Amino acid sequence: MHALSIPTWVVHITSVVEWIAAIWFIWQYAAVSGLTAWRTLSFAMLPALVSAMCACTWHFFDNADALAWLVTLQAAMTVVGNCTVCLAAWWIWRQARLANPS
């Protein structure tokens, strides 16, 4: 746990908590508004959460060489997460256009 300073740990941990809160708030927005397409964004954000948790886990164990595979998993989940969030945004846009054709 000595690989990062305390302020850096605070940033890492609060970022994960913030991401979890964002997922929950988006899910609640979908429920309250009735715009269920927004739920896809909540699911699409999960790979990025996994990515963040990989980083925290690797740093927690002092960047151990035995856990170097977490870096690869983190990178992969970042790419997957960026793609899924992009697709979710497209899905929300598409559903909005279908609901309100102009």
pLDDT one digit per residue (tens) for the chain, 102 residues: 677 899 999 999 999 999 999 999 999 999 999 999 999 999 999 999 999 999 999 999 999 999 999 999 999 999 999 999 999 999 999 999 999 887
Q: Which domain holds residue 68?
A: 6-99
pLDDT of residue 1: 67
How confident is the model at residue 2, as a pLDDT? 74
- Whether 19 is covered by a domain: the verdict is yes
Euclidean distance between the first and final Cα of the chain, in Å? 56
Dihedral Cα 20, 46, 29, 92, nearest 10 deg: 150
**Is residue 16 domain-resident?**
yes
pLDDT score of 3: 77
Q: What's the total number of domains in the chain?
A: 1
* Residue of 75, 17, 15, 22 whose CA lies nearest to 45: 22
DSSP 66: G
Of the candidates 10, 14, 9, which has an alpha carbon nearest to the alpha carbon of residue 59? 9
